[in-house]
Amino acid sequence: MAASIPTALTGVVRTAGELYAIRSFIGIAGGTFVMCQYWTSRMFTKEVAGTANSIVGGWGNLGGGVTQIVMGSALFPLFKIIFANKENPASAAWRTVCIVPAVVAFVWGFILMKISDDCPKGNYSKLKKSGDMPDVSASASFRSGAMNLNTWILFLQYGCCFGVELTMNNLAASYFSEKYGAKTEVAAAIASIFGWMNLFARGLGGFSSDKMNEKLGMRGRLIVQSVTLVAEGVLVFVFANAPSLAVSVTVMVFFSIFVQAAEGSTYGIVPYVNPPVTGSIAGIVGAGGNVGAVCFGLGFRQFEDEMKAFTLMGSCIIVSGLLSLFVCIKG
């Protein structure tokens, strides 16, 4: 609900500084990912937490792509028609169209506050008053999560899957345009395929993690984690060396599937690290995705030869997959 206010105010921006400020405040909404992953971890048993977390997270990522399509292809043209009598219909349209997602976000946030429960037993406030739930301070929870080595291994691994997804979302369209000469519209459409894999790929990773957990326990989850990350890293090299646009797009589809499967697998492990402080651990691990995106993004900016950047990214991903050998969780 808080992020809906700066979203609605996007149209009042006049300078770059104002844009940076507004986008920073809109970023508050990104924090709901962590709360959502914690919520699903509490609402579902750990045996199916991987599937639940991955479906919710995957469809959350998909929402960004759907919003771009709806805003750009449906609402923006509609608002230009509405403001056809204005001096500059396009300017008036983009300055007002962001009110729509702001209203949707605010209303949905209000509905969640009124009808949802914190966990299957009810709301935390009542459970704490009745003594059925211990009252743990946020600082103690964060300290406990941050002192766990497993948290930081998952932090690095999530940076090498969700961070890679964010990086590809930023550069895929220009990559196809520059390397294969695809038109801007075509390149953008092809690049969007990466995000559309969230329809099922992240859920597939969580589901696979749950199934392997049934057979091998935590070792099964870690096997899925390593396999998806190593396969993702290998496919980075294949993608970078694709000889044609058709081959590149085909490889990207499989590359994207393993990227998002690794994301789902990661959050199939998170609830097991230290259950009482799952929220803090989910937050730290989630931040790894953004850190990974920044690091890989800097790599592509620093290297003039994109092949070197892809080599660096692919190597980091493969190494991160091998880090599962050092994860020590009971189960």
Report which DSSP code applies to 1.
-
**Cα–Cα–Cα angle for 292, 182, 306, nearest 5°?**
35
Contacts of 51 (CB under 8 A, 6+ apart): 203, 206, 207, 209, 210, 268
Residue pLDDT, tens place only, 204-259: 999 999 999 999 999 999 999 999 999 999 999 999 999 999 999 999 999 999 99
The answer to whether 127 and 121 are in contact (CB under 8 A) is yes
Closest CA relative to residue 238, chosen from 221, 254, 217? 254
Residue pLDDT, tens place only, 109-133: 899 888 888 877 778 778 777 777 6
Residue pLDDT, tens place only, 39-92: 888 788 878 878 888 888 788 777 766 776 777 778 888 888 998 888 888 888
Structure confidence at residue 65 (pLDDT) = 67
* Alpha-carbon dihedral sign for residues 158, 159, 162, 164: negative
Question: For the residues 287-297, what does the mean pLDDT come to?
Answer: 93
Structure confidence at residue 222 (pLDDT) = 96
35: amino acid identity, one letter = M
Structure confidence at residue 191 (pLDDT) = 85
Structure confidence at residue 331 (pLDDT) = 65
Structure confidence at residue 305 (pLDDT) = 85
Report pTM: 0.81
Residue 32, pLDDT above cutoff 90: no
Q: Where are the alpha helices (DSSP H) in the chain?
A: 4-8, 16-26, 32-43, 49-69, 76-82, 89-97, 99-115, 124-130, 138-146, 149-159, 162-180, 184-196, 201-216, 218-240, 245-273, 278-302, 306-322
Residue pLDDT, tens place only, 187-200: 888 888 888 888 89
Residue 14, pLDDT above cutoff 80: yes
**pLDDT band at residue 184 using 50, 70 and 90 as cut-offs:** confident
The answer to whether 286 and 201 are in contact (CB under 8 A) is no
Q: Compute the chain's Rg from CA coordinates.
A: 21
Q: Which strand (E) or helix (H) includes residue 303?
A: none
The answer to whether 238 and 169 are in contact (CB under 8 A) is no
Structure confidence at residue 303 (pLDDT) = 87
**Cα–Cα–Cα angle for 283, 285, 289, nearest 5°?**
105
d(CA 8, CA 2): 11
Neighbour-count burial of 326, counting CB atoms closer than 10 A to its CB (0-12 exposed, 13-18 middle, 19+ buried):
exposed
Report percent pLDDT > 70 for the chain: 98
Closest CA relative to residue 51, chosen from 41, 38, 62? 41
